[in-house]
Amino acid sequence: MAPTSRVLIPHLSRRTVGSKATKIINGADGRWKNSSSLDTRSSRARLFCISADRLDFFRTRQHDLLPRVLRGKDSMNDEQGLTYRRQEKKRVKKVDAAKSDDDDTDGESSSSPVVESKVIGVNPSSLLPRYLAPLVWHHRREFYVSRSFDPQLIVQLMAEGFLPIATSGYLLPKLHAERCVVRLCPESNLHVSRSTRKKSKSFLISVNECFDEVVAGCHRQHGQNWLYPPIVSSFRMINQMTKTANSAGICAMIMEDDSSHPTDVTPVRLYSVEVWSARTGVLVGGELGYSVGAIYSSLTGFSDQDAAGSVQLGALGKLLTKCGFEYWDLGMDLDYKRRLGAELLGREEFVGIVKRSRVENKGVVLRCGGCRVNAKELFDLDKPDGK
């Protein structure tokens, strides 16, 4: 067997790398060789370590994972790619310097990336898996940033517990300090009001029937918000793979303990959920969401008719429970989510649940029987003998 070498792939820390950085390959003694071209103390470059016997696999998968960053825009070499990253960071900082320090980007809608600061009590760099560090970096509070909207990168982030949103030209994965979550199984905390139950017979529910119409409805109600064309295109591709006969979605690699070698893969699926008027057959509400294991995460939604939004939430919660989902992730904390039965989970607990579920519950899929179902039928699922 050939001796194992190791490769160091430098990437930017939050401070710009000042010295010229190159790949360093050493011999079989397993010790790093020094290079005058890379001063890790002055440049503060962090190094991602990959054993050479895994390098070909890593290059192949990462080449597919994010070609624009690893190869640059037009098949850049490593040095050019690093320069590209440096220039991008400088450009972002220059734009952000013109912004007011009081500018707040809290919530699921966000403007352009801002200069990073530490999440209180936590080093934000430690929350990002090392294999993603060449592709994504921290900017501010709970937000990270990337220039790529590659669907494979997005599903990797979803599988690591990030909620991907966007701004103009940037992907903004968000890792909430606290996640608002409804427990569905084994004992459901979902609460649906009596008034919502009474109105439910006026609406029909479907899954993956009209992705683009749901996106248009979200734009109509919220404006472009964070649903910019690049992230919509990636969501559409994941949704198309989810609608295949076997509901395959797009598989994310599972990397354990900051390893560069995947131990498994897990399917990530993205759905559109539609609400229709039972009387007219018109689309009156809907949402986008995705699943990792037995966890369903809501992204955004809209409602064009009174009660359509509350019925959609209640009916979706019942459908998720029927399909075997254990948790319903609703993102940031809001009053209406608490009324639905949600509770707050800390970041560490939530990410731990994602990592367990992505391995144990790969086959859990959101389905609606291939047709539109009256919402009242879903609400009646919890009644004994359907009474």
* Per-residue model confidence as pLDDT tens digits over 343-384: 999 999 999 999 999 999 999 999 998 899 999 999 998 776
Query: What pLDDT, in 10s, does the model give residues 278-308?
Result: 999 999 999 999 999 999 999 999 999 999 9
- Provide the pLDDT for residue 82: 55
- Per-residue confidence (pLDDT) for residue 313, from 0 to 100: 96
Contacts of 141 (CB under 8 A, 6+ apart): 105, 106, 117, 119
pLDDT score at 186? 87
Confidence of residue 258 (pLDDT cuts 50, 70, 90): low
Radius of gyration of the chain (CA): 23
**Which one-letter amino acid corresponds to residue 9?**
I
Domain boundaries defined on the chain: 6-174, 179-386
Model confidence at 126, pLDDT cuts 50, 70, 90, reads confident
Query: What would the mean pLDDT of 252-270 be, rounded to a whole number?
Result: 88
- pLDDT band at residue 339 using 50, 70 and 90 as cut-offs: very high
Q: Is the confidence at residue 72, as pLDDT, over 60?
A: no
Distance between CA atoms of residues 22 and 9, nearest Å: 8
- Overall average pLDDT of the 240-268 stretch: 89
Whether the pLDDT of residue 272 is over 90: the answer is yes
pLDDT band, residue 261 (cuts 50/70/90) = confident
Return the structure tokens found at 198.
């009474």
Any alpha helices (H) in 285-346, and if so which ranges?
A: 308-323, 335-339
pLDDT at 285: 97
Q: Say which CATH class 179-386 falls into.
A: alpha beta
Sequence-separated (6 or more) residues with CB below 8 Å from residue 300: 108, 218, 222, 225, 226, 227, 287, 288
Nearest residue to 20 via CA among 83, 64, 73, 69: 83
Give the whole-number percent of the chain exceeding pLDDT 90: 58
pLDDT tens per residue, range 188-226: 999 999 999 999 999 999 999 999 999 999 999 999 989
What's this model's pTM, rounded to 2 decimal places?
0.72
Residues near 228 by beta carbon (within 8 Å), at least 6 away in sequence: 166, 167, 168
What per-residue confidence (pLDDT) applies to 370? 81
Which pLDDT does position 90 carry in this prediction? 61
pLDDT at 201: 95
What does the block give as tokens for 377? Answer: 């039928």
Averaged pLDDT for residues 57-68: 40
Q: Is the pLDDT of residue 21 over 70?
A: no
Does the pLDDT value for residue 25 go beyond 60? no
